[in-house]
Structure 1
Amino acid sequence: MTTTPEGGEWVAICPLQRLADQTIVCVRFEAIDLLLVRHGDRIFACERACPHEQADLSWGRVADGRLFCPRHLASFDLQNGDVSVGWPSRSLRRYPVRTKDGQIWVDAAAVKSAAA
């Protein structure tokens, strides 16, 4: 884990190469299940369970900048987590992510505070 001057406790969670051939990768940080999602050249980190019915979003798909739930087809904006219109659900939790030295890093403090 690395603490940076701009804040956060960054932890390397996955080699960047794992997302070379996959769009969605499941990872675990301190018993918290997360997804890493590649859309174009960007990588996003978010919670794995759908906030609506707890479906496993790793079985979903990504299109047009949105992550689609495999159970009810609601979708979540990867930029801000907003749910598609008409679904009574909170936004998808997203976490700060960066790439460095061939690794994908997430802000561990943000993940832990969201899980609390």
Structure 2
Amino acid sequence: MTQWIDAAALNDIEDEDVMRFDHAGRTFAIYRVDDAVYASDGLCTHEQVHLCDGLVMGHTIECPKHNGRFDVRDGRALCAPVCEKLTTYPARVEAGRILIEI
């Protein structure tokens, strides 16, 4: 069963940035790009490094360890060394709060 979880205030994250969100023993990454919000698993599929330490460029998150890149909108792996996509989650803003569906 999925549920919407209150993850953060929209103002907690700058445009073209990423933040870490931990919930129920799992780590997620929340992205803000052009005032839209996105969410994915928080660890790179290549070597389990926290994506919150990575660089957001447009709709791309670059892993801080080996520079692999993912599209934050759908989790697609965009370049080596990553080849497995990220799991993404629906995200929305409601009353100034970021909600993700997990």
TM range (shorter): 0.7 to 0.9
Does residue 19 (structure 1) correspond to residue 13 (structure 2)? The answer is yes
**What count of residue pairs does the alignment treat as equivalent?**
102
Unaligned segments of structure 2, at least 5 residues: none
Cα distance in structure 2, aligned partners of 1:56 and 1:30:
17
Q: Which has the higher strand share?
A: 2
Unaligned segments of structure 1, at least 5 residues: 1-6, 109-116
Q: State the Cα deviation string for residues 29-59 of structure 1 (Å, max 9, x = none).
A: 1111111111122111111110011111111
Aligned to 2:68: 74
Cα distance in structure 2, aligned partners of 1:100 and 1:9:
15
* TM-score for the superposition, normalised by structure 2: 0.87
* TM-score for the superposition, normalised by structure 1: 0.78
Does residue 100 (structure 1) correspond to residue 100 (structure 2)? The answer is no
Identical residues among aligned pairs (%): 25
SS state of the match for residue 58, structure 1?
Answer: helix
Cα distance in structure 2, aligned partners of 1:21 and 1:88:
25
CA RMSD after TM alignment: 1.9
Task: Give the greater-gyration-radius structure (CA).
Answer: 1
* Stretches of 4+ aligned residues off by more than 2 angstroms: 85-89
Q: Shift of the alpha carbon at 1:17?
A: 1.5
Cα distance in structure 1, aligned partners of 2:99 and 2:50:
22
Cα distance in structure 2, aligned partners of 1:12 and 1:64:
24
SS state of the match for residue 84, structure 1?
Answer: strand
